[in-house]
Chain A
Amino acid sequence: EVQLLESGGGLVQPGGSLRLSCAASGFTFSRYEMNWVRQAPGKGLEWVSYISASGTSKTYADSVKGRLTISRDNAKNSLYLQMNSLRAEDTAVYYCARDIGYDSRGLPKPGYFQNWGQGTLVTVSS
């Protein structure tokens, strides 16, 4: 069974830093692309960042570019999100999501969020 377990959330002051982790199990982590998606309290879903299976390709939403950094350690079956220069608008539940990575024709196509963790809450407030 695919399991994704986020951790590392908490209360942080504006301008502060936090590192989120996502522990994966039940599948061969090194073969899958991964994403972070967030949801502000009472709001909709916002894609934050993507990382390829090898970790060599990364993309970010404009709203977090330069402040949040995605990474992974395939030996530890773990995904990370380093969050710096945090702002109040970064307050959200952060989900890690496993990406199928291929379309129905078998062509590379990231963006299918097939499995999600339970989320970890980040609150940015003084």
Chain B
Amino acid sequence: DIEMTQSPSSLSASVGDRVTISCQASQDISNYLNWYQQKPGKAPKLLIYDASSLETGVPLRFIGRGSGTDFTLTINSLQPEDIATYYCQQFDNLPFTFGPGTKVDIK
């Protein structure tokens, strides 16, 4: 199985800050990487697919980059509504696997 790791596990930042979350795959997954946002008590929401494509309706401040084994999700100008846990997920190989999540809150 492909193992996904994320760092940091949590972070606290101020409104307006740029925040970057890293995701690493245990083997080359090309660009078969998605990012999800999960707010407390809610279902996950697809933010970024194919490593860098923005899902319809997602604010432009969310930027995905990377390929191979190393990926990042950047939130430009953090907003209060971005408080959530963010998960990366690979779909290059079955079983589909998620990273452990990065919890983002406001300082």
* Contact of B49 (CB < 8 Å), options: A45, A61, A112, A118: A112
> Given A113-B34, A113-B36, A116-B43, are A45 and B98 also a contact pair (CB < 8 Å)?
yes
> Which residues of chain B come closer than 8 Å to A35, judged between CB atoms?
96
The 13 sampled A-B contact pairs (Cβ below 8 Å) are A37-B44, A44-B87, A45-B36, A45-B44, A47-B89, A47-B96, A95-B44, A111-B96, A112-B34, A113-B34, A113-B44, A114-B55, A118-B42
In the complex, which range does the number of interface residues on chain A fall in? 20 to 34
Per the bound structure, the CA–CA distance linking A95 and B32 in Å amounts to 21
- The number of chain B residues with a CB under 8 A from chain A is 25
Residues of B within 8 A of A44 (CB): 87, 98-101
State A62–B32 Cα separation when bound (angstroms). 21
Task: Point out the residues of chain B lying under 8 angstroms from A67, CB to CB.
Answer: none
